[in-house]
Homo-oligomer: A and B are copies of this chain.
Amino acid sequence: MNGRLGLDQLGLSAGKKTRLHRILYQHGLQNGTALFLPYDQGLEHGPRDFFANPDAGDPKYIIGLALEGGFNGIAIQIGLAEKDYAGEVPLVLKLNGKTDIPSTIDPLSPVNATVDDAVRLGADAVGYTLYVGTPAQEHDFAQYLCVRRDAQRLGMPLIVWAYPRGSAIDGKGGKDSFYAVDYAARTASELGADVVKVNFPHPDKQFDVPGPYQSEFSAQQAIDAVVRSANRTLLLVSGGERAGDEAMLDKARQSMEAGATGLIFGRNIWQRPRDESLRFVAALKEILAKYPSA
């Protein structure tokens, strides 16, 4: 287990510290951990994600869920933020995104909103998807630079969705491999993210990875290493596609044990009836409660 990071250890400007403090210590469990509700799937996957629970297609339903579940924040695109959000829970304005219709080989997630939009809407953080490992990194880094600079200028915390992607990743163990997730966490940290969101690393799913990753690692060892690679960047583990509850709770426990700051679970929350959602949230919060940071 790595040491848990306090907000004073992150080199944050006053505005960023203020806003992260609001998210981490004035919402959710108010203990420095975080549970975020991401809701950009309407753009990333289309309405098909809402067929399992049609209520979930309505942003008002989701915001209600975040409020009742006591989340630390929701992450949505500009359109929903503009029309459906009214300050109920902290807002993470997602600044880029794409549809999954065209080929996702070597993707880039184009920006559709700005940090100024986030300020105007009263957001407490912005989110940026960085596809680590694609040849499009040239354009991605250029886009990212503008976002990082604006976030710095406006004191807005920057959460990087650090997603390994692209043909080279596919050929080096895949996007959930320990190697890929570890590299993605480090990349976000080197590039100046305040918070990084990663998928849970799978040491058993990789192949053709660089030598050092070819030893045997347990899941706990992998997530420990990823948290270390993220260095003084707060780390959130995402839920990904809906899976069995016990598996998800195990991941959550291992992540928090490794020193993660929290979780960002979407489809695993809202692709089920409301009561079931809230019961699952309660189980997650029970885990988070065990890992307060001063």
List the interface of chain A (C-beta within 8 A of B).
10-11, 40, 42-43, 46-48, 51-52, 54, 57-59, 77-80, 82-84, 97-99, 101-103, 106, 108, 110-114, 117, 132-135, 137-142, 144-145, 148-149, 152, 164, 166-169, 172, 179, 182-183, 186-193, 210-213, 225, 228-229, 231-233
Identical subunits present: 5
Contact of A137 with B183 in the complex, beta carbons under 8 Å: no
Contact of A82 with B113 in the complex, beta carbons under 8 Å: no
Contact of B99 with A112 in the complex, beta carbons under 8 Å: no
Contact of A108 among B138, B189, B225 (CB under 8 A): B138
Complex alpha-carbon distance, A111 and B139, angstroms: 10
Contact of A80 with B183 in the complex, beta carbons under 8 Å: no
Q: Which 4 A-B pairs have CB atoms at the shortest separation, nearest pair first?
A: A101-B133, A51-B212, A110-B141, A46-B183
- List chain B residues, Cβ under 8 A from A42: 186-187, 189-190, 229
Contact of A58 among B108, B188, B231 (CB under 8 A): B231
6 residue pairs A–B, Cβ–Cβ below 8 Å: A40-B190, A48-B212, A98-B138, A102-B106, A102-B133, A112-B141
Complex alpha-carbon distance, A83 and B52, angstroms: 42
5 extra interchain contacts, Cβ-Cβ under 8 A, other than A101-B169, A101-B183?
Answer: A47-B182, A79-B188, A84-B232, A110-B137, A113-B192
Contact of A111 with B142 in the complex, beta carbons under 8 Å: yes
Q: Which of A102, A166, A213 has the most CB of B within 10 A?
A: A102
- List chain B residues, Cβ under 8 A from A112: 141, 144-145, 148, 191-192
A228's nearest neighbour on chain B, judged by CB, is B57
How distant is A1 from chain B, measured CB to nearest CB, in Å? 15
Contact of B47 with A191 in the complex, beta carbons under 8 Å: no
- List chain B residues, Cβ under 8 A from A46: 179, 182-183, 186-187, 210
Contact of B102 with A190 in the complex, beta carbons under 8 Å: no
Complex alpha-carbon distance, A232 and B59, angstroms: 9
Complex alpha-carbon distance, A80 and B193, angstroms: 10
Contact of B11 with A84 in the complex, beta carbons under 8 Å: yes
Contact of B47 with A225 in the complex, beta carbons under 8 Å: yes
How distant is A10 from chain B, measured CB to nearest CB, in Å? 6
Contact of A79 with B190 in the complex, beta carbons under 8 Å: yes
A47's nearest neighbour on chain B, judged by CB, is B229
- List chain B residues, Cβ under 8 A from A229: 42, 47, 57
How distant is A164 from chain B, measured CB to nearest CB, in Å? 8
- List chain B residues, Cβ under 8 A from A189: 42, 79-80, 83
Contact of A79 with B192 in the complex, beta carbons under 8 Å: yes
- List chain B residues, Cβ under 8 A from A140: 110
